Amino acid sequence: MTGRVVLALAGAGVLVVPCVAPTYHVLLMLPFMAYGVALLGLNLLFGYTGLVSFGHALFIGIGAYTGAFLTSKFGVRSLEAILVASAVLGALVAAPVAALCVRYVKIYFGMLTLAFGMVFYTFVLKFYRVTGGDEGTPYLRPSLLGFGLEEIPKTDYLIGPYYYYSLVVLALAAAVMWRVVHSPFGLCLKTIRDNPAKAETLGISVRRYRWYAFMISAVYASAGGALLGAPIGNVDPTLAYWTHSGNLVFMTLLGGFASFFGPLVGAFAFIYLEDALKSLAPSFWRLIFGAILAAIVIFAPGGLLGLVRRARPLGVSRA
Give the per-residue SS3 of the chain: CHHHHHHHHHHHHHHHHHHHCCHHHHHHHHHHHHHHHHHHHHHHHHCCCCCCCCCCHHHHHHHHHHHHHHHHCCCCCEHHHHHHHHHHHHHHHHHHHHHHHCCCCHHHHHHHHHHHHHHHHHHHHHCHHHHCHHHCEECCCCEECCECCCCCCHHHHHHHHHHHHHHHHHHHHHHHHHHHHCCHHHHHHHHHHHCHHHHHHCCCCHHHHHHHHHHHHHHHHHHHHHHHHHHHCEECHHHHCHHHHHHHHHHHHHHCCCCCCHHHHHHHHHHHHHHHHHHHCCCCHHHHHHHHHHHHHHHCCCHHHHHHHHHCCCCCCCC
Q: Which is nearer to another protein, 163 or 209 (CB)?
A: 209
Q: Which is nearer to another protein, 19 or 319 (CB)?
A: 319
Q: Please give the distance of CA 131 from its chain centroid, rounded to a whole number.
A: 22
In the complex, what is the shortest distance from the CB of residue 310 to another protein, in angstroms, rounded to a whole number? 16
Q: Which is nearer to another protein, 25 or 190 (CB)?
A: 190
Regarding 199 and contact with another protein (CB under 8 A), the answer is: yes
Regarding 188 and contact with another protein (CB under 8 A), the answer is: yes
Regarding 260 and contact with another protein (CB under 8 A), the answer is: no
- The residue within the footprint of another protein, chosen from 138, 186, 233, 246 (CB under 8 A), is 186
Regarding 91 and contact with another protein (CB under 8 A), the answer is: no
Q: Do residues 34 and 169 lie in contact, with contact meaning Cβ atoms separated by under 8 Å? A: no
In the complex, what is the shortest distance from the CB of residue 189 to another protein, in angstroms, rounded to a whole number? 9
Regarding 319 and contact with another protein (CB under 8 A), the answer is: yes
Q: Which is nearer to another protein, 199 or 271 (CB)?
A: 199
- The residue within the footprint of another protein, chosen from 40, 62, 169, 180 (CB under 8 A), is 180
- The residue within the footprint of another protein, chosen from 176, 276, 287, 291 (CB under 8 A), is 176
- The residue within the footprint of another protein, chosen from 187, 232, 277, 293 (CB under 8 A), is 187
**Of 200-219, which residues contact another protein (CB under 8 A)?**
200-206, 209, 212
In the complex, what is the shortest distance from the CB of residue 313 to another protein, in angstroms, rounded to a whole number? 15
Tell me, residue by residue from 138 to 157, as one string, x for binding to another protein by CB under 8 A and - for no binding: --------------------
Segment interacting with another protein, rule: CB under 8 A, options 75-83, 112-120, 160-168, 198-206: 198-206
Q: Which is nearer to another protein, 219 or 239 (CB)?
A: 219
Binding-site residue total for another protein (CB under 8 A)?
Answer: 29
Q: How far is CA 200 from CA 30, 66, 195, in A?
A: 41, 38, 9
Segment interacting with another protein, rule: CB under 8 A, options 143-151, 162-170, 179-187, 280-288: 179-187
Q: Do residues 55 and 114 lie in contact, with contact meaning Cβ atoms separated by under 8 Å? A: yes
- Chain residues in the site for another protein (CB under 8 A): 176, 179-180, 182-188, 190-191, 193-195, 197-206, 209, 212, 317, 319
